[in-house]
Structure 1
Amino acid sequence: MDGWLAHHLARRRDGVKHPVHDFLFTYYSHRPAQLRRWHPGHGVLLRDGAPDRDYLAVDGGVLLDPALLAKRADSVRWIRDLLAATASRPAQLGCFGMHEWAMVYRQTQQEVRHNSWPLRLSPAATAEVVQDRGVRCTHFDAFRFFTAPARPLNVHQPTRELQPALEQPGCLHANMDLYKWAYKLSPLVPSELVTACFALSREIRELDMRASPYDLADLGFPPVRIETPEGRAEYAAAQRSFADRAAPLRNALLTACDHLLPPTAASTRSR
């Protein structure tokens, strides 16, 4: 993990913000120290390990405390059902990353979230792109950051309650969130799975912001100009690639949840 974390920790020490990679540590709540700590997953004996708040001493070493799984069973079940519902749907590839544009719709440069970085177009031209293209966001945790004037323009009106009914595997944010579900399952799942989800989320975040209205070329992120036909084609191809790469990680998390839950607790898996 240190190769990914070193730059973030140095920026944090120096008080320097990064509009792309900080997201992995501000929106997501897993701390660098937690990422650096390795866990083998539920049911694995660590020979000669030392007991602590998560691990109990047993003959030959330590095991994760069974009470931890019992305490988190409802959360595991909710995550499992959301992942299964998402996996059961076809990927939708027609949003073209307009969620980031909807987050700055009708705002001035001073009002936008990353106001240290310029928009590629003027606020008026940015608003025109949103109005011309429309917004088709299915992800609640993106939609909730839309500006008030942008929300009625969205085809969907996502809520937390509708999340299992709307989430679909083409969504960049749903695939980034595999990292969130992996670390929320930690230490019950192996750290290698958390790390794999983090690595994918990091790549997806770069596309997310390259397709945004911000000009981040000076940071090494050339724009995907989704306001053009060529840019939309580039975005959709990358979106499809990420959906394909996310599918085995989603299935691995589903399998892990099924192993953690009692047989009667895991609903029938969609295929």
Structure 2
Amino acid sequence: MDSWQQRQAAHHARVDALVAQHLSRREEGVKHPVADFLFTYYSFRPAQLRRWHPGAGVEVPLAAPHAQWRFYTKGEHSAYVDLPDFLTHRGSSAQFVRELLAGTADRAAQFGCFGLHEWAMVYRAGRDGIRHTDWPLRLGGEGTDEVVRSHQLRCTHYDAYRFFTAPARPLNLTVLQRDSQTSLEQPGCLHAAMDLYKWAYKLTPLLPSELVADCFELATEVRVLDMEASPYDLRDLGYDPVCIETPNGKAEYIRRQRAFAQRSTRLRHRLIEHIDDALTAARPRPSAVRN
């Protein structure tokens, strides 16, 4: 078996294991308040995640299926990512992702949010305004609201903030806007860590699929903490609550948040490196000076 086939087979096996339970639940019509997020909020389908790409600058034989896929071109004996074509269509996205990731990586991580974004999404919402209506609030409606009122909301992630209830938004330390995203995201944020998966799949096939899967795997783990620290009682699904309203719960949240921040920082730098390599490879070389 050629090396590209070995890489492809390993990627298929890895993704199959990661998405098997989701596919089984989907076939049975069963919703899951934790895991579904990776397949509903994020728009990459399991079949797309499973498709293996070698990444820009790596050739595969013409017999490989890649020769027929978008953003690939054929050489005499091989197929490879057509960087000029990709950057013509996705160059602005690549530049934005690179700016966002680099800005986030350069900032100090903040660890004082305690996952209260999920609480702010149900603050004074009433039962009809709760997203996961099949699952009870661990402290009830009034108890949940009191946790929000007794803490300072410190969310820095716009795509979490935009789901806050209207009464919760003014309670945040900063009013967040889409156009300030690149200047405010910071590496301690759980949602910034999960979104590495989004930025990675949006740059497919520029990146090797192993890196996209690394980002997906991190996102699945971060999502668990995200919901264990949420106001929902998910013990019937096997998720023990991280009681962020208590000192011990806060300490546990920060401990796990720091570990995820370290992992996301490493992935963030790998993504930046691949983007920079692609942009450099696509840049026209200066013409030789003629005498």
1:32 equivalent to 2:50? Answer: no
The structure that is helix-richer by fraction is: 2
- Cα distance in 2 between the residues matched to 1:219 and 1:53: 40
Aligned residue for 2:187, secondary structure, equals coil
1:146 equivalent to 2:164? Answer: yes
1:181 equivalent to 2:196? Answer: no
Give the alignment's TM-score, normalised by structure 1.
Answer: 0.95
- Cα distance in 2 between the residues matched to 1:110 and 1:214: 15
Aligned position for 2:126: 108
- Cα distance in 2 between the residues matched to 1:178 and 1:127: 31
Deviation at 1:110, TM superposition (A): 3.4
- Cα distance in 1 between the residues matched to 2:69 and 2:256: 42
Deviation at 1:89, TM superposition (A): 0.5
Aligned residue for 1:162, secondary structure, equals helix
Aligned residue for 1:34, secondary structure, equals helix
Which amino acid counterpart does residue 68 of structure 2 have in structure 1? D
Give the alignment's TM-score, normalised by structure 2.
Answer: 0.88
Deviation at 1:35, TM superposition (A): 0.5
Deviation at 1:65, TM superposition (A): 2.6
- Cα distance in 1 between the residues matched to 2:44 and 2:281: 29
Quick one: percent identity of the two aligned structures? 57
Aligned position for 1:171: 189
Give per-residue Cα distances to partners, 1:235-255, cap 9 Å, x unaligned. Answer: 011100100111110000010
Alpha carbons 1:69, 1:188 under 8 Å: kept: no
Which amino acid counterpart does residue 5 of structure 1 have in structure 2? V
Aligned position for 2:289: none
Aligned position for 1:137: 155
Which amino acid counterpart does residue 136 of structure 1 have in structure 2? R
- Cα distance in 2 between the residues matched to 1:145 and 1:38: 33
- Cα distance in 1 between the residues matched to 2:68 and 2:126: 51
Alpha carbons 1:69, 1:260 under 8 Å: kept: no
Deviation at 1:12, TM superposition (A): 1.2
Deviation at 1:113, TM superposition (A): 0.1
- Cα distance in 1 between the residues matched to 2:151 and 2:282: 45
Aligned position for 1:83: 101
Would you say how many aligned residue pairs link Structure 1 and Structure 2?
265
Aligned position for 2:81: 64
Deviation at 1:214, TM superposition (A): 0.1
Gaps of 5+ in 1: 266-271
- Cα distance in 1 between the residues matched to 2:58 and 2:18: 27
1:46 equivalent to 2:71? Answer: no
Aligned residue for 1:173, secondary structure, equals helix
After TM superposition, what 4+ stretches of structure 1 lie above 3 angstroms from structure 2?
Answer: 262-265
Which amino acid counterpart does residue 65 of structure 1 have in structure 2? D
Alpha carbons 1:105, 1:147 under 8 Å: kept: yes
- Cα distance in 2 between the residues matched to 1:38 and 1:158: 37
Gaps of 5+ in 2: 1-14, 284-291
Residues 237-246 or 62-71, more deviating: 62-71
Alpha carbons 1:86, 1:167 under 8 Å: kept: yes
- Cα distance in 1 between the residues matched to 2:81 and 2:258: 37
Alpha carbons 1:2, 1:36 under 8 Å: kept: yes
- Cα distance in 2 between the residues matched to 1:242 and 1:168: 13
Residues 256-265 or 101-110, more deviating: 256-265
Deviation at 1:263, TM superposition (A): 8.1
Alpha carbons 1:134, 1:153 under 8 Å: kept: yes
Aligned position for 1:10: 24
1:219 equivalent to 2:237? Answer: yes
Give per-residue Cα distances to partners, 1:180-232, cap 9 Å, x unaligned. Answer: 11101111100000000000000000000000000001111100000101100
Aligned residue for 2:150, secondary structure, equals helix
